[in-house]
Structure 1
Amino acid sequence: MITFDQVTVQYDDAPAPALRDLDLTVEEGELCLVVGHTGVGKSTLLGAVNGLVPHFTGGTLYGRVTVDGRDTAAHPPRELADVVGVVGQDPADGFVTDTVEEELAYAMEQLAIPPATMRKRVEETLDLLGLADLRHRALHELSGGQQQRVAIGSVLTAHPRVLVLDEPTSALDPTAAEEVLAAVTRLVHDLGVTVLMAEHRLERVVQYADRVIHLPGDGTARAGAPADVLRTSAVAPPVVELGRAVGWSPLPLSVRDARRAAAPLRARLADRTPGPVRPPAAGERPRLLTARGVTVAYRGVPAVRAVDLDLRSGEVTALMGRNGSGKSSLLWALQGSGPRRAGTVAVTRANGTADPHTVPAAEARRLVGLVPQTPADLLYLESVRQELDQADAESGTRGEARRILDRLAPGIDDATHPRDLSEGQKLALVLAIQLSAAPRNLLLDEPTRGLDYRAKSELIAVVDALAAEGRAVVISTHDVEFAARAADRVVVMAEGDIVADGPTAEVIVSSPVFAPQTAKVLAPLAYLTVSQVEQALAEEAAG
């Protein structure tokens, strides 16, 4: 169905090819997973399948890419639209209508599909992706995860033979991600759709893959059975890392397979207490922010319902819950920019407390900093240098934003346009802008979206450093593996209410939805990460 024949892609300003001498074949009805660190060429590989590379991205494509017999060099994306459906990393970038139902119908209108068939396919897709209750909702009113499902549905209605997905679950909570992946695998198994998918959250998708293509970063690719490729790949989900650490063969790709092999390991670890994932607090942590009765509503519909929340110095809190549970609305209300129907927010400062909602914007930045789901929303100038200078001017500092950026992501050139940065670099730049105001409270809304495992580890190091400085950090996230490693405390929201609040191990281990893979494999033992297991085994070996 998809063939790469000696394909090389060279961008004009790049020192080396993004892809080099690729010979690959993806068969009809196959779910093929593309893995690798950020920046190794995954998006280039996906873009070559529908002609975006090189027709719109520039650069030079050598060799030949064919899809269902069509040469993508001779067929631009518009001439492949009936064969290839593409969903990019940011779903909102592809929306062209106003409501969910209109968006699902748009692609079929462009392909001149009869109205009766259009109506039937729209209804099928609404049910398939759980969007029936949202059919008349405006797209801009949807949560990030709901927008992601609509974006996938908008290409599914055209019934493409090939589906290209670039991080399809990045904005979804665990349950919604399972629903989307179940729908995708149904297309593969029942309809013979060929799916080419790039995803950083391998723990969610690798068990569904028929084949894996690993891009190591030198332009080449290695393709094969998932277990064979992941045994030595630079990126792997926790369940695979656990299998590597223990020496299991065959290598497990799912929690179910790992639990079948884990009985001897559980017996070895039964008498050992897991070491802490994060160092325990030394003494009482002073309170930096107190929220009482915070209520947010949009057009009379409650998004946050009378929430009470305290944030403490040096504490990292993971804010979790399904899409639409009110996490982002709560963060914006705490920061002061978002609407608040009722309640109070008091932030500790040198001379008492202040409500960020009632003070000037410059002072509010010094009380609470917030990085939104899409950090690029805060970047509007023409160069990194201009963004940093503007941050210093607003914060009354000189060179502070640059010093922070160099600590978070060294090597970013002043002249670079912010839109040309990688997702991780954009996040670092926005963090530097916000931290230049020295807020004691920092709120991060889905910061791991678009980050690979290595970048997440770097983000954890940044968060640890911020907490060590005495800041309170709140991270809204659907990434249970990240929360297990990064957070001291987990707060879970549902329908605008806080339904759980406690130490990370207590909250996520007790939940079948929010538990990380290691916890599921070794339950009822209280292990959260592979590192804890490796530490326990090393202590056992040392006697």
Structure 2
Amino acid sequence: MIRFDNVSVTYPGAASPVLDRIDLTIGEGELCLLTGRTGTGKSTMLGAVNGLVPHFTGGHLDGEVTVDGIATSSRPPREFAHLVGVVGQDPLAGFVTDTVEEELAYGMEQLAVPPATMRKRVEETLDLLGIAELRRRPLRTLSGGQQQRVAIGSVLTSHPRVLVLDEPTSALDPTAAEDVLAAITRLVHDLGVTVLMAEHRMERVVQYADRLIHLPGDGSAQAGEPAEILRTSSIAPPIVELGRLAGWSPLPLSVRDARRVAGPLRELLDGRTPSSEPAAVGERLLTARKVVVRYGEVVAVRGVDLDLHRGAVTAMMGRNGSGKSSLLWGLHGAGPRQGGTVDVDGNDPKRLSRSESRKLVGLVPQTPSDLLYRESVADECAGADRESGAAPGTCRALLDRIVPGLPDDRHPRDLSEGQRLSLALAVQLTAAPRIVLLDEPTRGLDYAAKARLRAIVRTLAAEGRTIVVATHDVEFVAATADRVVVMAEGEIVADGTTTEVVSASPAFAPQVAKILAPSPWLTVDAVRDALTPTEANR
């Protein structure tokens, strides 16, 4: 169905091709997972499937990409709309209408689908993705995860033969992600749709993949059976890392398969406990009482009380639309807050000037491009240094700790989603706020970048700051957070240590916890630290 024949893509000013002489074929009805670190060419490969690369992105493409026997170079991308459905990293940027129902119908209108058929497909898609109750909601009032599901639905209604997905579960809570992946799997198995999916959260997707394509970063591509590629891949989900540590062969790709072989490891760990402990609680830095956030008639936060203490990393979890982002904006002061109080050192951030409040509370939103408005990476970093009164080079040094080597002359709009988020995070951290609020900070980040972000978060906490991370990334929470707060329908329904909260939740438990339950292990690193060198890989 999809063929890359000696394909190379080179962008202007680049020292080498991002894709270099790629030869591979993806068959009809395959679910193919595309992996690789940030900047290795995943988005380029996805864009080449319908001709967006190089027609709209620029650069030079050598070789030939064909879809269903049609060369993408032979016609403009719009003429592939009936054949290839594409969902990008930022769903809001791709919307062209105002409401959910209109967005689902728009693509079919462009293809002149009969009205009766359009209505039937809209209803089927609303049910398939579990968004029927959102049909009349304005798109801009939806949570990031809800927007992601609508974006996927908007291309499914056109019944494409090929579906190209760039980070489709990055903004979804674990349950919603499973629902979307189940729907995609049904399309593959029942309708023969070919799916090419790039996803950094491999732990969610790899068990469903028929084939894995790994881009190591040198322009080449390694394709094959997922278990075989992951045995030596430079990036791997926790289940594979645990399998490597325990010496399991073949490597399990699902929790079910891992539990079947994990008996000896559970016995080996019996009686031992993880060495890491939650950070000691310091003085209270923020006090929030009876916080209410409302959008019209929709109440997003219902009278929430929350205390944040020095040196602690708090993860805020909950299904899409539970009120996490709204609460962060309410605490920050820049967003709406119709009731309640927030106190930081005797000040309410909402009543301070921007320059004053950013030294108390910094926030990186789900859409980092909202914070980026200058012409280059260098300009953004220099501006952050000036506005924060920091020494020149402070922002650039922070950025290099998260995503090393990002070119100074690159325009922020030309960065990947993960790179934009990293730049926005560096801009906010330059002001050295006492409280740092991060809304889905791992979205678009690969495992290595998340490890660097985790180190930065823990360093900030050790310096006496408090960090709040609103996220659906259970693996990041397990390795980083001291405390977990779970929200539902605008209220806090659980609050405790990370081990207490995530181990008791089927939805928010990390892979290691599911495999080694009922023992209190959350991460591969914790297991590795508990084993002697002779016990590992025996």
For the aligned pair, the TM-score class normalised by the smaller chain equals over 0.9
Q: Give the corresponding residue for 2:64.
A: 64
**C-alpha contact (below 8 Å) 2:278/2:483 kept by paired residues:** no
Change (3 A) 1:225 1:385: closer
Residue 296 (structure 2) pairs with residue 299 (structure 1): yes
Aligned pairs, number:
535
- Counterpart Cα distance in 2 of 1:161 and 1:417: 34
Residue 342 (structure 2) pairs with residue 345 (structure 1): yes
Q: Give the corresponding residue for 1:329.
A: 326
1:378-414 C-alpha deviation (Å, 9 max, x unpaired): 1112233433343344334452545544555555555
**C-alpha contact (below 8 Å) 2:418/2:443 kept by paired residues:** no
The within-5 A match list for 1:279-428 is 280-282=278-280, 284-348=281-345, 353-399=346-392, 400-402=394-396, 404-405=398-399, 408-409=402-403, 411-412=405-406, 414-428=408-422
Q: Give the corresponding residue for 2:489.
A: 495
Q: Give the corresponding residue for 1:216.
A: 216
Measure how far apart 1:504 and its partner are.
Answer: 0.6
- Counterpart Cα distance in 1 of 2:360 and 2:242: 41
Partner-residue secondary structure (3-state), 1:357: helix
Residue 531 (structure 2) pairs with residue 537 (structure 1): yes
- Counterpart Cα distance in 1 of 2:304 and 2:293: 10
- Counterpart Cα distance in 2 of 1:8 and 1:408: 28
The within-5 A match list for 1:189-268 is 189-268=189-268
- Counterpart Cα distance in 2 of 1:294 and 1:449: 27
Change (3 A) 1:5 1:331: same
Partner-residue secondary structure (3-state), 1:171: coil
1:424-452 C-alpha deviation (Å, 9 max, x unpaired): 44334323332333321110000100000
- Counterpart Cα distance in 2 of 1:383 and 1:429: 11
Measure how far apart 1:281 and its partner are.
Answer: 3.1
- Counterpart Cα distance in 2 of 1:298 and 1:106: 26
Change (3 A) 1:255 1:458: same
- Counterpart Cα distance in 2 of 1:451 and 1:233: 17
Measure how far apart 1:94 and its partner are.
Answer: 1.0
Q: Give the corresponding residue for 2:452.
A: 458
1:197-219 C-alpha deviation (Å, 9 max, x unpaired): 11000000000011111111111
**C-alpha contact (below 8 Å) 2:380/2:427 kept by paired residues:** yes
The within-5 A match list for 1:123-142 is 123-142=123-142
- Counterpart Cα distance in 2 of 1:405 and 1:225: 35
**C-alpha contact (below 8 Å) 2:278/2:497 kept by paired residues:** no
Residue 26 (structure 2) pairs with residue 26 (structure 1): yes
Partner-residue secondary structure (3-state), 1:343: strand
- Counterpart Cα distance in 2 of 1:59 and 1:404: 30
Moved more, 55-64 or 319-328: 55-64
- Counterpart Cα distance in 1 of 2:361 and 2:35: 36
The within-5 A match list for 1:65-104 is 65-104=65-104
The within-5 A match list for 1:437-456 is 437-456=431-450
- Counterpart Cα distance in 2 of 1:375 and 1:241: 31
1:506-526 C-alpha deviation (Å, 9 max, x unpaired): 110110000000000000011
- Counterpart Cα distance in 1 of 2:212 and 2:147: 27
Partner-residue secondary structure (3-state), 2:73: coil
Change (3 A) 1:10 1:408: closer
Partner-residue secondary structure (3-state), 1:344: strand
Partner-residue secondary structure (3-state), 1:178: helix
1:237-280 C-alpha deviation (Å, 9 max, x unpaired): 1111111111111110000000011111111111211221xx54
Percent sequence identity is 71
- After TM superposition, the score normalised by the length of structure 1 is 0.95
Partner-residue secondary structure (3-state), 2:46: helix
- Counterpart Cα distance in 1 of 2:210 and 2:396: 45
Partner-residue secondary structure (3-state), 1:485: helix
One-letter amino acid matched to 2:177: A
Partner-residue secondary structure (3-state), 1:73: helix
Q: 2:514 aligns with which of 510, 515, 520?
A: 520
Measure how far apart 1:58 and its partner are.
Answer: 1.6
Gaps of 5+ in 2: none
Measure how far apart 1:360 and its partner are.
Answer: 2.3
- Counterpart Cα distance in 1 of 2:184 and 2:219: 28
One-letter amino acid matched to 1:535: D
Q: 2:477 aligns with which of 464, 483, 488?
A: 483
Partner-residue secondary structure (3-state), 1:235: coil
- Counterpart Cα distance in 2 of 1:401 and 1:537: 39
One-letter amino acid matched to 1:374: T
**C-alpha contact (below 8 Å) 2:7/2:61 kept by paired residues:** yes
